Structure 1
Amino acid sequence: MQKELKSVIKQIKRLLSKYYRKYDDRIPYLITVLITAPIVVGGINLFLELTEDLKSEYLVTYDASISEAIASYRTPSLTQYFIYLTDIGNAIGYLIVFSVCTLIFYLVFKNWRYVAQIVLVMVLALSSNLILKQIINRARPEAEHLVTVETLSYPSGHAMMAMAFYGILIYLITQFNISKIWKFLIILLLAVLILSIGISRIYLGVHYPSDIAGGFIAGFIWVVFCVMIFNLMNLFKRDAAT
């Protein structure tokens, strides 16, 4: 990602220097933000469209059919498995995983910046999820709940936080100096975990599929937004040092 952004900025600088002898050095970065912004804007637009359609007939039908299909596979052992998965997406689960990641970042990579980046994404995702739930005010499904829930339904906090937390981890792992095989396996594991946490909420009867979709979209928006900011900050620092 940094290489791509740096290449774009170089091209912009070359173009500007061709037509303008003097220009503000911040302009290339501003243009880069404008180029990458559609990714975030597109995600926001998709989230808003989904939110507007929550009460539409086709989405209600979609939610019901998917929920019934997933619930039809309920077994005692599978229920225990999905309860375990949904617990991973709770506060204690994230605290444990975050603590392990912090130790690895400090002992192996000697870099606290990774910890700060994860914290930023998590704070943004959590605070925005709480706000969105209150604004949209969607009730939980009326189906049987296999776990206790107290908050509102849309967007799913579990899905949003899973995408934000494990999504930024996936990005950070791509930056690590480890073998490609390990990168692939870890990224695949985290991707499956994100999807599984989302499915667990439907299986346990506490979320509609559209809640999960909304949570995934919102979490992804924060990941992309923060990744862009992190890379631009790095490029600013490198430019300042040269």
Structure 2
Amino acid sequence: MKKTVSRIITSVRQFLSEKFHSEDSRLPYFITVIIALVLVVGGINLFIELTETLKTDTLARYDATITDYIISFRNPSLTAFFKFVTDIGDVTGYLIVLVLFVILSWRIIKSWKYVLQSVVVLVLATLSNMALKRFVDRARPGIEHLVTVETLSYPSGHAMGAMAFFGFLIYLISKLRIHRGLRYAIMLLFALLILSIGISRIYLGVHFPSDVAGGFIAGFIWVVFCILIFDVIQIFRRDPEV
């Protein structure tokens, strides 16, 4: 893996030095593409390694220890909070956020491109999660479930969708020309929401911690991969002869 990444970086450095000057407008897009490609390769490798350890005793012990610790905090107030949070990571929650994003795009950003890109990321994450669940075929935890679930366990669809959708929104917000403090506050809010949705699935008893970790990794892969694709498209739109 390290050798592969090293070869990619060396090749890119040589390519950029030969093809571009520092003031070339396409250079930032190429740099983003290369960084994204390295992260995607690393993320896929990490996801595969985690998936291969699902049936090991070591991972089972970690899952049990972390789960026992989190559910030890169960109380009515916290249960109500995590049920609310987990609903945000469901279809209704995403629809509400998308509606708000559409309004923001219409009134402030004046572009529908980012809305379409966000939908693409979410759809890709959702479809791939369904396929991965069927392929891995891991049963849900055998503890009390505080919410109703019908699908398989690994990777967590809520964790994967939250990382993909809200993670991509964090990327988009980082590019907006708004007040720095407001930008960082929104990005932090989304980051905490992603983390809370993941924890909620463990707290509610419907996922192992490794399910959530796998979902986060897979969702992050989609975020970075889509950034890569969108930047490649931007490169070709800037110069069809690239």
Fold shared by both chains (TM-score > 0.5): yes
Percent of aligned pairs with the same amino acid: 57
Distance 1:133 1:158 in 2: 12
Equivalent residue, structure 2, for 1:180: 180
Task: State the SS of the aligned residue for 2:239.
Answer: helix
Distance 1:13 1:47 in 2: 30
| 1:15 pairs with 2:18 | yes
| 1:95 pairs with 2:81 | no
Over 3 Å counting, the alpha-carbon distance change for 1:31 and 1:108 in structure 2 is: closer
Distance 1:209 1:68 in 2: 11
Equivalent residue, structure 1, for 2:72: 72
- Asked whether the equivalents of residues 70 and 203 of structure 2 are also in contact (C-alpha less than 8 Å), the reply is yes
- Asked whether the equivalents of residues 126 and 161 of structure 2 are also in contact (C-alpha less than 8 Å), the reply is yes
- Asked whether the equivalents of residues 47 and 214 of structure 1 are also in contact (C-alpha less than 8 Å), the reply is yes
Over 3 Å counting, the alpha-carbon distance change for 1:112 and 1:74 in structure 2 is: same
Q: CA deviation at 1:56?
A: 0.5
Gaps of 5+ in 1: 1-7, 19-28
Gaps of 5+ in 2: 1-10, 22-28
Over 3 Å counting, the alpha-carbon distance change for 1:180 and 1:96 in structure 2 is: same
CA displacement, residues 104-141 of structure 1 (integer Å, 9 cap, x when unaligned): 11121110100111011011100000000000000000
Q: CA deviation at 1:225?
A: 0.5
Over 3 Å counting, the alpha-carbon distance change for 1:151 and 1:179 in structure 2 is: same
- Asked whether the equivalents of residues 140 and 207 of structure 2 are also in contact (C-alpha less than 8 Å), the reply is yes
- Asked whether the equivalents of residues 70 and 203 of structure 1 are also in contact (C-alpha less than 8 Å), the reply is yes
The letter of the residue matching 1:227 is I
Equivalent residue, structure 2, for 1:24: none
Distance 2:68 2:83 in 1: 18
* More displaced stretch, 228-237 vs 107-116: 228-237
Over 3 Å counting, the alpha-carbon distance change for 1:134 and 1:94 in structure 2 is: same
- Asked whether the equivalents of residues 32 and 231 of structure 2 are also in contact (C-alpha less than 8 Å), the reply is no
The letter of the residue matching 1:183 is R
Describe how 1:78-227 pairs up with structure 2 within 5 A: 78-227=78-227
CA displacement, residues 13-61 of structure 1 (integer Å, 9 cap, x when unaligned): 551589xxxxxxxxxx999856642210110110011000001011000
TM-score normalised by the chain length of structure 1? 0.87
Task: State the SS of the aligned residue for 1:12.
Answer: helix
Over 3 Å counting, the alpha-carbon distance change for 1:230 and 1:60 in structure 2 is: same
Q: CA deviation at 1:238?
A: 1.9
Distance 1:159 1:94 in 2: 13
Distance 2:31 2:186 in 1: 34
Q: CA deviation at 1:235?
A: 2.2
Distance 1:118 1:172 in 2: 9
Task: Give the aligned CA root-mean-square deviation in angstroms.
Answer: 2.4
Q: CA deviation at 1:241?
A: 9.3
Q: CA deviation at 1:232?
A: 2.0
- Asked whether the equivalents of residues 36 and 227 of structure 2 are also in contact (C-alpha less than 8 Å), the reply is no
- Asked whether the equivalents of residues 166 and 194 of structure 1 are also in contact (C-alpha less than 8 Å), the reply is yes
- Asked whether the equivalents of residues 9 and 32 of structure 1 are also in contact (C-alpha less than 8 Å), the reply is no
TM-score normalised by the chain length of structure 2? 0.87
* More displaced stretch, 95-104 vs 61-70: 95-104
Distance 2:43 2:132 in 1: 15
Task: State the SS of the aligned residue for 2:50.
Answer: helix
Distance 2:53 2:204 in 1: 23
Residues paired across the two proteins, number:
225
Distance 1:240 1:210 in 2: 44
Distance 1:166 1:82 in 2: 17
Task: State the SS of the aligned residue for 1:98.
Answer: helix
